[in-house]
């Protein structure tokens, strides 16, 4: 089930142009590359988000909507990640991880100081949900 969804999202990634915001030199460039309502799951949509990190780049700690299930695949380079109180793990190109509704993503960063890294995060989320990331209050 996940592989067809990922294949669909990858197809959209390669064929869709979307606007992006680059929020700073060390932060991630995040681009919504795909969005589609799920016809067999009323009220839910799939959204593909491309996250690009420059060398040494990172995202601040964050959460996602309570309705969101996320399946992320590293497309290029290596990503260092920590979800909740789990171990800090490095995922290399071709490797994947998931986040469940309510998870806290405390570490999300490029594992390299010299090479870029990219990941594709595929969200299954409430269709009405527009914001996909919320900062963790310090």
Name every residue whose Cβ is closer than 8 Å to that of residue 109 and which is 6 or more positions away in sequence.
53, 56, 57, 58, 59, 79, 80, 81
pTM: 0.78
Mean pLDDT of all residues in the chain?
A: 83
Burial class (CB in 10 A: 0-12, 13-18, 19+), 107: middle
pLDDT of residue 28: 85
Hey, which CATH number is domain 2-135, 2.60.120.10, 3.50.50.60, 3.30.390.30, 1.10.3470.10? 2.60.120.10
Burial class (CB in 10 A: 0-12, 13-18, 19+), 117: buried
Mean local confidence (pLDDT), 66-81:
96
Q: Give the model confidence (pLDDT) of 23-71 as tens digits.
A: 334 778 999 999 999 999 999 999 999 999 999 999 888 888 889 999 9
């Amino acid at each position: 089930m996940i592989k067809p969804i990922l294949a669909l999202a990858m197809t959209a990634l390669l064929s869709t142009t979307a606007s992006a915001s680059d929020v700073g030199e060390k932060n991630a460039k995040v681009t919504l590359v795909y969005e589609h309502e799920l016809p067999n799951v009323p009220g839910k949509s799939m959204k593909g988000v491309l996250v690009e990190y420059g060398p040494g780049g990172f995202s601040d700690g964050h959460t996602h909507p309570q309705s969101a299930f996320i399946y992320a695949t590293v497309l290029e380079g290596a990503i260092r990640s920590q979800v909740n109180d789990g171990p800090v793990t490095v995922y290399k190109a071709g490797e994947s991880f998931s986040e469940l509704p309510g998870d806290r993503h405390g570490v999300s960063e490029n594992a390299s100081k010299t090479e870029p890294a990219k990941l594709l995060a595929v969200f299954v989320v409430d269709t009405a949900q527009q914001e996909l990331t919320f900062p963790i209050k310090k």
